[in-house]
Structure formats: structure tokens, C-alpha cells
Structure 1
Amino acid sequence: MSDREYDIVLYGATGFVGALTAQYLATAAGDARIALAGRSTERLLAVRETLPAAAQSWDLITADASEPSSLAAMAASTRVVITTVGPYLRYGLPLVAACAAAGTDYADLTGEPLFVRKAIDLHHKQAVDTGARIVHACGFDSIPSDMTVFALYRQAERDGAGALGDTNYVVRSFAGGMSGGTIASMTELAREAATDPEARRLLNDPYTLSPDRGAEPELGGQSDARWRRGREIAPELDGYWVGAFAMAIPNSRIVRRSNALLDYAYGRRFCYAEQMSLGKSVLAPVAAAMATGGNVAAVELGGRFLNRVPRGALERILPKPGTGPSEQTRENGHYTVETYTTTTTGARYVARMSQKGDPGYKATSVLLGESGLALALDRDALPDLHGVLTPAAAMGDALLARFPAAGVSLDVTKLA
């Protein structure tokens, strides 16, 4: 890797989240060698002109998902490719292929389990052979999920408290919008699930991203469509109601893949679910039930509806990829999540993670930028794992160490 021209190439830099990631790297990357990549040199120039002086010397690379040779040349020039170009199910696999072939590390923002499954099936073995780390889900989906569980595991390990058992992720507060790219990704996912029985089966399997499905335990209580009282998760949530979290399906599959890739370090009886808090009011149980019902309907019925609507008509209505909210809205956003676990010795812990900034935009650009920097600059601190990986399996302790300076708060507390 020492002979590569760049440390990081940011592909999709002209998109909304891509431009935010470029801005973050311009302030956080120090002396890292960075290039911006996309389809239009003119638009790349426009993005670069908005960046601080230190970034004005960054090179510009023209590359297009429809031209594999341009992706191959880009991948061969750098240690790491960061990509914000989605929907990944439609556009992402050629770049994964290029990075796997070149032995180049890769980080993306996907929340699409079917795309990750295809990347595993098509390119995991080659990436292992070439030494590439293909790291999916490096934004709000799914780093808070993946890294809070990893932090719980590390603390329980230090305390000699046993393996993780029943573990629940709860979104406690959230303010922000959903990006056009995320909506496009969810639309593609729903369309495919509606027309392909195998895709539906994969989405319904809690271990769909497992490296060895037959080795996984058959555990109950891992529903992605659950509403219940908070005290069923932890006494600290007494009085609250929780319902299904919209991104539980992709996030939970990433977390379970991390456990398997780490040789079941979390435990063979690790049981995981995700929820969102709907408060304590008299209407909270109704809101929890509606959130859960809406989540089920979106998965089961959304794709059937979408496939009856012409793609062009739908694209005229929905927010477009590359679009996003105002700077004020991005700055006013925030999130806080709590992940509770009970270990095999009966010890209870909670990991709290929070960030300022809209989760899908500003916060995500920080998480993606730090993932790329960890892969490029912290190589001696990374686990000796290669192939199609998750944030926890690929970067683990190195990413945790980067969080404080990036304004990401993640603390683990022993409750009992």
C-alpha cells in the first residue's frame, strides 16, 4: 500500500452526503493524501472550491459506475475508497469488485442487506485473498448499532463478566430527516423483495449476512417488529413504551455478522433486537403499536405498491439522491441511542452513544469520514481480518479510539 498515490479517494463527492464528507475530511484528515471522484469534473471543481484552503490541492478523478475500467484505475490508485454513490443495489457492486481485485479497502453507507449479501457471495473470497477490507454500513446505519454492542463486549471482557446475552438497542432521541439517497435505497430494496421470493426469505432471516448460516444458533426473541413496555428491556426504562425501529432489519444483520466474524466473541447465545422509544404518555403504547405496524406494512406491502407505479413517476415525487435539508436543519439535528445487555453472569450494562447533527447527513458524514481515516491511517491497529466486513469487525478498537476527537460520545456503564 505504501506505493499508492492516495490515502483516500472519496467517490460520489458531488452528492449531498459526499460533499459533507469532503468538508469533514478537509478539517479532520490532517496530512492525508485525498482525491475527490465522480462523474463530472466540473461538479467536482465546484465542490472543491467550497472547501478550506488545505483541500484546494486535492486531485480530481473522473469515474463512473457504468465504466468498470475507470473504477479499476481509481481503486488501484488509493489505499481506501469511500463511496456515497447509491442506491448500492443498483450502482454499488462494480466498485466492490474493483476494490476487491485491487486489494483496496472500501467504506460505504449502505443500509441494504440484499446488496451486502451479494457483495459477500461475489467478492468476499477474492477480498480475503487480496487483503482488501470491504466495510459496509459506515454511517448512522449501522455504526451506532454495531459499535455500541462492540463496546459492551469489550467492557464485559475487561470485567470478566461473561458473554453477552439478551441485548437491546433503543433509539432514545432522534431529530433529523431522511436523505434522498436513503429513500432511494429503501425503494430499491422494497421493489426487489416484492418480486423475488428469495429476496423476501433473506430479509426475513435474522442471520442473512452470516458467513456460515448453519453455524448460527436458533434463538427466539429477535423480532424486528416488536412493541412492548420498556421495563421488559431494562428497569431503567420503566414507564416507557418502545416500538419497531425503521432500520432494525439492516442494522441487526450487521451486528450479528460482526459476532460471527469475530468468532462469536459476543457469545453463542447473543440475542439482539432494535427498538425506538415512544415516551411515557397515555398515547405512547398506541404510537409504539403504530410504528411497529407501519414497519411491517412497509416491508410486506410497500414493494407491491411500488412495483405498480412507474419508476419515472415515482422518482418525480420522492426526494432525489444527492439532495438534503438546509444547513440549519442539519446543525439542529441529533441522536442518542442506548444499548442494554445482560451477560451470562447476570451483569447488566448500557452503552450510550450520541452525536450532534442530523443523523442521516452531518452525523453520518463524520462517521463515514472517520471510518475512512481509520482504514487509511490506523492500519497497524486494525484487526487482521479481510474480506466483506462490518465496522466492528474491520475497525473495532481503532474506530472507538477516534470517536472522542470527532465529537462522538460513546460510554459504557455497569448497571448491576
Structure 2
Amino acid sequence: MAAAAATRAYDLVVWGGSGFTGRLAAEYLAKRYTPGSPDPNSKGSSEPVRWAIAGRDRAKLESVRESIEAKHPHAKGKIDILIGTNDDPASLESVACVANTVLSFAGPFAICGAPIVDACVKCGTDYCDITGEPTFIRDTIDRHDAAAKLAGVKLVSCVGYDSVPWDVGAFAVAKHFRDNGDECVGAVGHAGAARGGVSGGTIASAINLMETTPWDVLKRMGSPFFLSPDHRGDSDRESSAARSRWRTQSSWRFDEDVGRWTMPSVMAGINTKVVARSWAIDASGVYGKSFVYDESDICSGRFAAAFGTAALTAFGAALMFPPTRWLLKNHVLPKPGQGPSEALREGGFANIYVVGTGAKNGDKAVAHVEFKGADPGYKGTAALAVEAALCMALPTERAKLPEGGGCLTPATALGQTLVDRMNASENFAVGVVPLADAVIRG
């Protein structure tokens, strides 16, 4: 792919550009990476990006382009539209073959995500998406990992709020210990203070997962090793001893490291699997062989932790049974394409902490991943996904990445390059400090 990068028409194509989050990604590209932007944080002159929006509905894409041009006049005439449909593989290949990287927002991915991945592999095009659907990722690994490795094509899922903060946070704190002559033997991710809206698209994906996944697969999904190289647990790193160490918090408890009551993580179902895959396929030596990962959400007190645990359990049970799932789907939860107001998106924030423990003296350090002026589920995810995609889309950035392709994770594919891009953006900050020096906002 790298050799073809200079001859392709676009650095980045946003697939699903007419969806709610896809539109936000296009607006972020117009504001930050399109020449002529008056925004003081724009890199349109120093790091211009050749980009286009793509999807199946030209009228919707043209409407998105018009709204962006009205808000950002400097982008007028600079946003191309590409059309492809899932029932026409040649049309998808015509999209993939003109891009260095395709960034997909078109979910639920288990329903409509696979064809564009197929096209990217065939065209030798790097690919990333914002899915949080374990079965889609598992299917992509089984179908494409070997071919992508041979072609040197990087396929990277979960480049939004699912699951960059936790995966890159674990990477950053593990790297901190390695760079200081130690080894990180454990990391625990914590969702702290945040403000944002609930994603209708994420809810739709979760409901589709429950409706279409066989029971035996749902049971296997309970393992953090579901996305690991041998998801049956037969490899060396997935021995019974390792599996016994990787236990996800299932009730409320007081966490001594952060000094807060905590409850089971809402997002552990995907994040633990992504971090486990990072650990399993890591070729850089960042993670030690004895590394383990867990996750929780920080609560305001013991009662809040207990109530939150009960509410999360009840919600999960309601999704499992068709009658209550139908009620939630049709009368309670937000629909796909719905999202929070612009004021909430612009005023949103999030704080994610990953506390790591060193092997030598049990030293503690914490990686803090912060979202600033961006709600995590929409604006933050859109901007984060673009920054992740540009790690592969821009030849100068891709040259910094670890060699090789395959079905990778944000940490193993993008690593420090993504950390650096996040720190260069006004919407994110990533840092690692000794735990004693950290201020935990939860």
C-alpha cells in the first residue's frame, strides 16, 4: 500500500459520510485539514489532507457537503463525493482503490460493514472503523487477517471512544514502565468524570448483536480473549493461568488506587477484548508476558456504585429478552442517526485513567486520556477516528508506524504516532505520571 500512496487521488475517504458521526468527521476534516481554514488550530496549510466523503446515497452526501460548505466557506469546491453500494462490489472497489485509507462510520457493522473491508483488502488499502461489535471484528480477523498480513494492509477497528482511550491508555502506561527499565504487570482502566450524549448508532449495534448472535457465540464473547489470535484459549499467552488472571470486575467495590467506589464498566465488553488482543499480538515488547487488564467506572460514592451495578445488570437483562428489548428499542432508546445537540457536543468532555503496576517494586503510574471540548460519543469519536486514520493515510505518518499488516488494534497499529497526534489536537491530551502525582476526576 505504501508504494501506491503517492499516486492515489485521496489520502482519506470517509465511508458513511452522511451518518451522524460521519458528518462530524467530515466537518472536522474541513475545519482542521482543508486549506484556507480560518480556524486558529487549522493544519490546512502545514498538513493538508486530500479527502472525500462516500456512501450509497448521493443526495444525502450532497446535503452534507452543502451544510459543511455553508458553515466553512473555505471548503467550497474541495469536498468530493464517491458512490458505492454493498450489492455492487465493483463500486466499492472504485472507492477503496483511490484512497490510501478508508475510515468507516457505516454501522451496524455486522449488517453492512463487511463489503467495504473486502474491497480494501482487495485494493491494498488501509482501513479503520469505529465499531464496538466483537462479532464483526472476530469475523474480520477470521476472513482477512492472513491476507492483510501478506499484503501489508492494516485493518484497525475500534478507533473511536470504543476503544482508543483504554487501549492506548494501557499501551501508554505499559510503555512508561518499559522505558524506565521496568515491566507493567497489570493495568486497570477507569472511566472518570464525563459529559456527553448516548449514541443511537451504538445502541442499534448492541441490539442487533443480541438479536442475531447465536447463544454459544454470546457465551464465548464473555472471554476477554474472544478477539485474540486463538480465541479458544490454546496459545501460550492464553493458558488457563492467564485466563484466571484476566477477570473483569463484576460488582461494586472500593478501588484503593483511585480512592473511589467503582462499578463494572459499561464498555468492558469490548475494551477488555481489544486490550487483550493488543497484549496477545504485541511485537514491540511493550507488554510483559504476565500483563493483565481490568476495567471499572468511577462512582460518586458507595450507594451510586451499588445502584449503578444494579441498573447495568437490569439493562443487560432487558436486552437479552425479546419483549423488553423490543420495548427499549422502539420506545425508550435513541434511534440511529440521533445525537446530542451541538451545544452538548461542543461542551462535552471525558476523563479516562489507566493505572499501571510495575513488576520491580509495585510502583504505580497512571495514563490520563482526556477529551476536551468534545463529547466522547460523537464529536470526540469523530475527531479521534480521523486522527487515527491519518496515522495511516498520510505517508509521512505511516512511515512512523510498526511494519506489517493484518487485523490490528489501535495500540499495536498506531501506538505512539496516535498518542502524538492526539496531543497535537485541541480536543485531546494523553499523559503518564506517577499515581501519587495524579488528580483523579470522577
TM-score calculated relative to the size of structure 2? 0.86
Q: Structure 2: how far apart are the matches of 1:36 and 1:8?
A: 9
Q: Structure 2: how far apart are the matches of 1:415 and 1:145?
A: 17
**Which of 358, 368, 381 is equivalent to 1:364?**
381
Q: Which runs of 5+ in 2 are unaligned?
A: 34-43, 437-442
Residue 35 (str. 1) matches residue 49 (str. 2): no
Aligned pairs (5 A) from 1:139-288:
139-161=160-182, 163-193=183-213, 196-212=214-230, 213-215=233-235, 216=238, 217-220=242-245, 222-231=247-256, 234=257, 237-238=258-259, 240-263=260-283, 265-279=286-300, 284-288=301-305
Residue 25 of structure 1 corresponds to 29
Q: Structure 1: how far apart are the matches of 2:330 and 2:99?
A: 34
Residue 49 of structure 1 corresponds to 66
Aligned-residue offset at 1:309: 3.5
> Aligned partner of 1:372: which letter?
A
Does the CA contact (< 8 Å) of 1:133 and 1:385 recur in 2? yes
Query: Aligned pair in 2 of structure 1 residues 375, 287: CA closer, same or farther (>3 Å)?
Result: same
CA offset digits 1:129-168 (Å, max 9, x no partner): 222111100001100001111111221111112x222211
Aligned-residue offset at 1:308: 7.0
Aligned-residue offset at 1:319: 2.3
Q: Which runs of 5+ in 1 are unaligned?
A: none
Q: Structure 2: how far apart are the matches of 1:385 and 1:290?
A: 46
Residue 15 of structure 2 corresponds to 11
Identity of aligned residues (%): 36
Residue 74 of structure 1 corresponds to 95
Aligned-residue offset at 1:58: 2.1
**Which of 356, 360, 383 is equivalent to 2:402?**
383
Does the CA contact (< 8 Å) of 2:24 and 2:382 recur in 1? yes
RMSD: 1.9
Residue 149 of structure 2 corresponds to 128
TM-score calculated relative to the size of structure 1? 0.92
Q: Structure 2: how far apart are the matches of 1:266 and 1:308?
A: 39
Aligned-residue offset at 1:203: 1.4
SS in structure 2 of the partner of residue 325 of structure 1: coil
Q: Structure 1: how far apart are the matches of 2:249 and 2:134?
A: 14
Q: Structure 1: how far apart are the matches of 2:78 and 2:349?
A: 33
Q: How many residues align?
A: 402
Aligned-residue offset at 1:296: 3.6
Aligned-residue offset at 1:89: 1.0
Q: Structure 1: how far apart are the matches of 2:399 and 2:250?
A: 40
Does the CA contact (< 8 Å) of 2:207 and 2:325 recur in 1? no
Residue 439 of structure 2 corresponds to none
Residue 415 (str. 1) matches residue 435 (str. 2): yes
